[in-house]
Amino acid sequence: MRHFTALLGIPLILIAGCAPTDGTAPGGPGGSADERWESFQQRADEVAEAWRTASGRQAWLAGYAPLQSPTVLPVEPGFTPETEQAFHAGWYRAELTVPTETPADGTVDFPDGTLSVPLVSAADAYAELRQGDPPQCDAARPGPDPTGSATDLGGTPGPDDSATDSGELGCQVLTVTAATLGTVDLLTSRGTAQVPAWLFDVAELDGPVARVAVDESVAVPAPEPQVPEPAGMTTFVTAQNLTGVDGTDLVYRLGVGACDSDITPFVQEYADSVVVAGGVTRTGQECTDQLLFHPVTVTLDEALGARTVLDALTGRPLHVIAVG
């Protein structure tokens, strides 16, 4: 999981609510008339073409390129407020000696084929999973045990650091009781794949917490399409990330201003990509300088499959994040 930091140093505020949509592009077939649709469609065409011809795209589509956090909940965990906070903060302790042996290479099963990949040990996966102790528990609990026995392995925050600014902090810790090598479904550049993962049984949850076991060194970086600066799109905002992909349903978050209103999702589908953005109504009033994350939902004409979801303003591919 990641810290969610605002762009350009703007303070971050999360807001709830979801803009409804009938699943069609505004102004498109079945949608309401919207004069912004033509400019969005032109921009979407530019972005889709730039992505199609981006350097490194073929390697990205042929290799292992995860599009979501390597920490996954395979089943409904049965969170309480305390255990959910501990999960997002990465507060764990181990009641076992976590295995340090590196397993043999594993296999990623994509919809279009397989790929042999090197794996990491359970100890290495756990070290990435665990982000520390609840602050007010530091004095009451012994420090990390480098052997991985009794308490935990410690480890430094990784690129998907799950600690959050949660206001009042609890003292709940998740207790790992077993580690088993298995698989987990993960969204990748080649669609949803079955990926080797360490499944950590947690005493306080109804199911395991999975940590992808694939060595991160084999992940293929995303292409960087050369897209022109967006013109005439002053009433559009960027799509920040995906929060849900389920068949034809796509949930993503828009980065909007505190005084933006009439927030509307825009989507255009192509054979190899889906381009999204959001339209807003600006106000002339004085407004606080904030970036708000506003969730919206669209229904695609066809299941997403192996298509890449792209932000219309930046041209970048969107990743799935978990929102607590």
SS3 sequence, the chain?
CCCCCCHHHCCEEECCCCECCCCCCCCCCCCCCCCCHHHHHHHHHHHHHHHHCCCCHHHHHHCECECECCEECCCCCCCCHHHHHHHHHCEEEECCCCCCCCCCCEEEEECCEEEEECECCHHHHHHHHCCECCHHHCCCCCCCCCCCCCCCCCCCCCCCCCCCCCCCCCCCCEEEEEEEEEEEEEEEECEEEEEEEEEEEECCCCCCEEEECECHHHECCCCCCCCCCCCCCCCEECEEEEEEEECCEEEEEEEECCCCEEEEEEEEECCCEEEEEEEEECCCCCCCCCEEEEEEEEECCCCCCCCEEEECCCCCECCECCCC
Spatial separation of the C-alpha atoms in residues 97 and 242, rounded to whole Å? 36
- Cβ-based neighbours of 231, under 8 Å, separated by 6 or more: none
pLDDT the model gives residue 29: 36
Q: Say what the pLDDT of residue 292 is.
A: 92
Give pTM, 2 decimals: 0.74
- Which of 125, 244, 120 lies closest to 187, judged by CA? 244
Give the CB-side neighbour count of residue 232, counting CA atoms within 13 A.
Answer: 9
Per-residue pLDDT of the chain (324 residues; tens, 9 = 90+): 333 222 222 233 333 333 333 334 444 433 444 778 999 999 999 999 999 999 999 999 999 999 999 999 999 999 999 999 999 999 999 999 999 999 999 999 999 999 999 999 999 999 999 998 887 654 444 433 333 333 233 333 333 433 333 345 578 999 999 999 999 999 999 999 999 999 999 999 999 999 999 999 999 999 988 998 888 888 999 999 999 998 899 999 999 998 899 999 999 999 999 999 999 998 767 788 888 999 999 999 999 999 999 999 999 999 998 765
pLDDT of residue 137: 59
